[in-house]
Amino acid sequence: MADSIMSKAATMEIPINSNGDTGTLPEDDSLEQDLQQVMVSGPNLNETNIVSGGYGGPAGGIIPTSTIKGKEDKPAFPVSYIRMKSRGITLPKSQSATSQLSQHTDQHPGSSNHNGSNPSEEVTRGVAVEKLDSVKKWGINTYKCTKQMFSERFGRGSRTVDLELEAQIDVLRDTKNKYENILRLATALINHFQSMVQTQQALGDTFTDLSQKSPELQDEFGYNAETQKLLCKNGEALLGAINFFVSSINTLVNKTMEDTLMTIKQYENARLEFDAYRSDLEELSLGPRDAAAMVRIEMAQHEYQIHRDKYERLRSDVTIKLKFLEENKVKVMHKQLLLFHNAISAYFAGNQQQLEQTLIQFNVKLKPPGSDKPSWLEEQ
């Protein structure tokens, strides 16, 4: 049926008037109905076979196509467009087949292709651009700071100096080095004294064993055993006081002072950046004053102001931290030095009562014997 209708449409005569326009056809309505019927009842591309070798080719060249599941297939061209083409009416450029097809596609969103940009790709592209800009800024900043550093080292550039603050920073670094030396010596004292206490404990156990096995020297071995045990007990109390002293000094040096020194390092980096952009601005100010140079000077002035604010903010932070560090250092060291003195004096004076009072006064808690050894569950 489709072949007969198509042949009818192909052999039909279309009268043309003198102006080249198509005349009215009596069969227009029937032709339109026939075309619609062909488009509805015609073969579906999804259910046909594609012949790779042309018409009349071998059967081996037939490629079956799969059926696409989805919405109902729509004709590639609207009926109104086919009707006008069958009448020989030429469409203007604004109403060409492409525009008609696009209008038909807009009416059916399901058939539109998805060639638009993917939001995830745009986000990825934006992140890549931001990373590239950050790397570029980092490179420029590193170059300027390196140039300023070498200029200062070789005496060709000027640097911003706060004499009072620099003196306080030097004092802090020197104090930290000396306190670290105190930590090393106090740790060595703990190790040596702990070995002596362990030796005294072993010696006391030996005297106790000999006092039981030597009846003729039982009293003498007993006295020495009790003395060594008393010295061992006092030694453990002194070890507790020295350990508390070392722990407090370690917190002061490796946490409080180190935090202040980290802020000082940030301050010194900000000072170097500030001087680098200051020197850059001074060089541009001495150059020509054309339009391009004025733009560069304005940008350099902006960067200079940013790094100046950062430098002044960090300088204020360093000044405040140095002040609080000094107050905290005096308070902590006053307590710890008093503890160390009283504990050492009481131990070597043999005043067990004063040694115990010192531990209570400074809230020093002794570890029970054998607490450093792992439990039997941990050993398994």
Q: What is the pLDDT of residues 31-80, one digit of tens each?
A: 555 555 545 444 444 444 444 444 444 444 444 444 444 444 444 445 45
β-strand partners of 63: 50
29-362 is classed CATH 3.40.50.720: no
Of 74, 95, 72, the closest CA to residue 85 belongs to: 95
Q: What is the mean pLDDT of residues 233-244?
A: 93
Of 373, 374, 347, the closest CA to residue 358 belongs to: 347
Scanning the structure block, which residue is given the tokens 């300088």? Answer: 315
The first and second tokens of residue 276, run together, are 């680098």
What is the rounded CA–CA span in Å between residue 96 and residue 180? 88
The tens digit of pLDDT for each residue in 139-191 reads: 887 888 888 888 888 888 788 888 999 999 999 999 999 999 999 999 999 99
Catalogue the E-assigned strands of the chain.
49-51, 62-64
Cβ pair 364, 244 in contact under 8 A: yes
Cβ pair 147, 228 in contact under 8 A: no
What is the rounded CA–CA span in Å between residue 256 and residue 231? 36
How many other CB atoms sit within 10 Å of the CB of residue 235? 20
Amino acid at 320: I
Cβ pair 360, 343 in contact under 8 A: no
pLDDT score for 371: 55
What are the sequence ranges of the domains in the chain? Answer: 29-362
Instruction: Examine the pLDDT at 375 and tell me if it is beyond 80.
Output: no
Beta-carbon contacts of residue 255 (< 8 Å; ≥ 6 apart):
none
